[in-house]
Amino acid sequence: MKRLGPAIMVTLILVCVSALGYAEEGVGNPPGAASITPAAAAETKEDNRLPIHKQDQWQFFIAPYLWVPGVNANATILNTTTTVNQGWWDMIPKLFSSAIGAMGRFEAWRGKWGFFVDSYFIYLGGNVSDSAGKTIDLGRRNIPATLILNGDLKYIVRTGNVDFGARYLLGSVNLNADKPLPVLSFEALGGGRFNVYSQYLKLDLDATLTGPLQTRTAGGSFVSKFDRSYIEPMLGMRLSLWLTPKAVITFRGTVGGFGLVADNNLDSDMELAFGYKVHKNIYAYVGYRARFESASTDEISVDGWFHGPILGTVFAF
């Protein structure tokens, strides 16, 4: 039931958003557009309408991002659970060496409709080592001896996806009746998601027993590999709060898989970001992104979160 949390949350929001979307504005100028009409905008040097109000023309958006991901994940193999916990702040010194997170998005709009392609890739790798010692007694004569256990875990995680589908503007709401801004817009997202996940774990263990007369050492290795890739359905929504003609806060949430396609897969992707228009056609963005993954087979079960800050730029034209 815990895995269904993100899906239920986004589904409830989608129901509310769909209901609000049908309470659209009247036939006059939409909130936030002031008195600018398509004809008047053509006569000016710069069209200052919000992107959601430029429904009479094609709009294109290219958004490269850098994502610094932390990970909180569990892998259960043969009833043995291995946990990996790394904060995103620990990943900053490892960027482009043992940790990489990048993503990019392309969108095209005309009217209320549009389409998008959104992709990301994460690589995490490293080693975790630990040791423990204990004094024990050998045999009935209580001969003291020392037992030392050493363990070294090497992990490599590669995960990524490509979202593709359609976007539909359900509507927008003017939050101040006396002013054109702020404006809250609602968009529905839907389509498919191509997922790739690869996990490699190697656990090396050795034990050293030191007694009065001799020292004995024994050890072994355990290797686990898990790879999967498939296409699944995806649904989502996006809320945009346009504070000023230059500043916007966006929240995007999607849910995919629903346990329908393969490996009882369920995933959810959420992003909260603040954008500011630094040039006529350029927005700078900063925010936080969280990605939930859950899948299981007869041999292995994996679930966890990848999350951390994002920094990027949107080029609009």
Identify the CATH number of the domain in which residue 221 sits: 2.40.128
CA 252, CA 189: separation in Å to the nearest integer? Answer: 9
- Show Cβ contacts of residue 156 under 8 Å, excluding neighbours closer than 6 positions: 123, 124, 125, 198, 199, 200
Type of residue at 30: P
For the chain, the domain total comes to: 1
Confidence at residue 156, expressed as pLDDT on a 0 to 100 scale: 82
Strand partners, 11: none
Confidence at residue 97, expressed as pLDDT on a 0 to 100 scale: 67
Give the SS3 label for residue 52. Answer: helix
Confidence at residue 22, expressed as pLDDT on a 0 to 100 scale: 38
Q: What separation in angstroms does the CA of 138 have from each of 148, 210, 214, 287?
A: 15, 11, 12, 59
CA 231, CA 50: separation in Å to the nearest integer? Answer: 34
Parent domain of 48: 2-316
Confidence at residue 207, expressed as pLDDT on a 0 to 100 scale: 77
| pLDDT averaged per 10 residues, the chain (length 317) | 44 41 39 41 62 92 88 76 80 70 88 93 74 64 71 80 94 92 96 87 78 72 79 95 95 89 83 95 95 81 88 94
278-304 per-position pLDDT tens digit:
998 999 999 999 989 888 777 778 888
CA 312, CA 10: separation in Å to the nearest integer? Answer: 25
The b/e string for 132-165 (b: 16+ C-beta within 10 A; e otherwise) is: eeeeeeeeeeeeebeeeebeebbbebbbbbebbb
Confidence at residue 142, expressed as pLDDT on a 0 to 100 scale: 65
Q: Is 130 left (phi over 0), alpha (psi -120 to 50) or beta?
A: beta
Confidence at residue 112, expressed as pLDDT on a 0 to 100 scale: 95
Helix (H) or strand (E) holding 45: none
* Alpha carbon 35 to chain centroid, angstroms: 39
Helix (H) or strand (E) holding 12: helix 5-21
